[in-house]
Amino acid sequence: MRWEFTQDFVEPQGQNDSGKLIIEFEGYNYQPLPLEIREENLRLLGMARTGEQLRLNPGRYAVRMLLPDGETESAMVTVQADGLARHKMGWQPTTLLARKLKSKYTERKSIAPIPPAPTSPSPMLPEDHETEPGDKAIPEQAPITLPASWCARFLAYDIDQKCWLPAEYPPRLELQEHGIVGDTVASELLVHAQYPGLFAIELRGRAGDQISVALPMAAQSDAMSCRLAIVDDGENMRAEASLLGYGSIELVSDYMQTGALQEAAALMTDAEELLWGKMSNPIAAALGGYALLRLGDLERLHNWPMNLASWFEWLPDGAVIAGELAARRKDHPSAANFMLLAVKRGLPLFSEGYSHLLSRLRYYTLYGRKLLGQGFSADHVEEALDTVQQWSPGVDLSYLSLTLEQLSLSGDDIPVQGPPSSEGWMHFAPENPDVLLPL
């Protein structure tokens, strides 16, 4: 059931006295969002987009919109003959951080804003302190520091040594929002790439749990920054990276995070623009490519994955998408070559990519002889499978960005408790402009 969007909902008998309707939505830089137009009895008439002028017979209509944060908004609107009705859909923007917290707390709780930088040593919160629902700001006169903080270090992929090493020129962190709810410390940051390369952040929570998150950004493209939300409740730490960018880029990222594949795919009308337009964002293009692959919409992918794979040599995901597309088109030798190319480039930035890559390598290990024919090197495929599969015990496929739990990309052993001992680790210091300070 691929969506067909229209602006004309007028029944033939109502041609003469139709009215007009515009549903306005202010979020996401006024990007048009998919919208359902329904009769008053809720029967679906069809799909439209926000911001467009729709033609309808006079009457009352229900409109419903799936928001990128997974919530839905519905409203009743009245269209009058020869009139123009405008309706603004109410939306309270929720940050990625708020959503992460909401997924932990089923009850609504507020996130405290960033406390002001302390001018004197800050008192610690008593251990039994609990913030109640509805608590808003941390009073300015009582600035706090965290009871303890998480640690982090950046890793960069070394394509020559084929391994992840502590980043010599690490990305820069910028704190956007930070707060405490009960024992939970939550922060939203922007990560800015300073130098070309593939980067991941390793995080160690207060309880000693460790995760690695691939960062969907690259200084060698317009996707120079990404968003990172971190929630550490003292027992578990979770982190989620998402795309940052103009236009539909963040929308695609957010929709995919909430399982709204159709909505994400509906925004991929300008996929090729993402490759070589004014705002070239191959990472967003890759994400949209994964949505289309997952929906089996190969027609809309036509050949741009080949360009994504060839023009952005630093991006493993381009080769994965081209490989998966070739496999679906039964061109298995090309598919295998693209998958091997992806492995050479490092790990995909997205869990979708990791999943396709591992599945195809397993498949070709089992059936390569039959599917790939002469010239196929079983050893190469098996070697690539070993390289990729070593991470599978740690990969959490429920995240959009490739996320590993209790497994260090650098290959370092993870201590059971206490601070990390290997090089490059810093601790989170929200009051400091650099955000991270040496241990």
Partner 1 sequence: MSDLWRRVEGVDTNAPRTHALVIGTSHYIHLPDAPDQPVPNDGRVTLGLGQATTPATSAMLFATWLDKDYHNPDAPIGTIRLLLSPSVDEQTQVDNLVGTDISHTTTTNVKAALRAWKRDCETNRDNVAILYVAGHGIQLTKDDSIVLLEDFADPNENILQCAMDIGSIWRGMNNARAAKTQFYFVDACRIKPDLFKDYANNPVGVTLDEEDSGTITAAPIFFSAAPRSYALGEPGKGTLFCQALQDCLKSYGVDAPDTDNRWLVTTSSLLKRLPVRVSELARKWGEEQDAVPGGLPVDVAFHVLKGPPDVPLRITLNPATASVHASARLWDGFSRRTLFENVRFEPDLTREVPGGNYLLAVTFPQNQQDYRDLEAAPVIAFPPGCEMEIPV
Contact residues: partner 1, CB under 8 A:
1-2, 36, 38, 40-46, 62, 64, 66, 70, 72, 74-76, 103-104, 106, 236, 258-262, 294-296, 328, 330, 351-352, 354-356, 358-359, 362-363, 365, 367, 385, 389-390, 392-394, 396-398
Residue 244 vs 260, nearer CB to partner 1: 260
Residue 34 vs 247, nearer CB to partner 1: 34
Residue 135 vs 297, nearer CB to partner 1: 297
Least Å distance, CB 85 to partner 1, is: 15
Least Å distance, CB 64 to partner 1, is: 6
Least Å distance, CB 398 to partner 1, is: 4
Residue 247 vs 305, nearer CB to partner 1: 305
Least Å distance, CB 55 to partner 1, is: 18
Least Å distance, CB 192 to partner 1, is: 30
Least Å distance, CB 413 to partner 1, is: 13
Give me 253's structure tokens. 């990222």
Least Å distance, CB 20 to partner 1, is: 21
Residue 282 vs 353, nearer CB to partner 1: 353
Residue 53 vs 74, nearer CB to partner 1: 74
Residue 62 vs 191, nearer CB to partner 1: 62
Cβ atoms within 10 Å, residue 204: 23
Least Å distance, CB 354 to partner 1, is: 7
Residue 184 vs 221, nearer CB to partner 1: 184
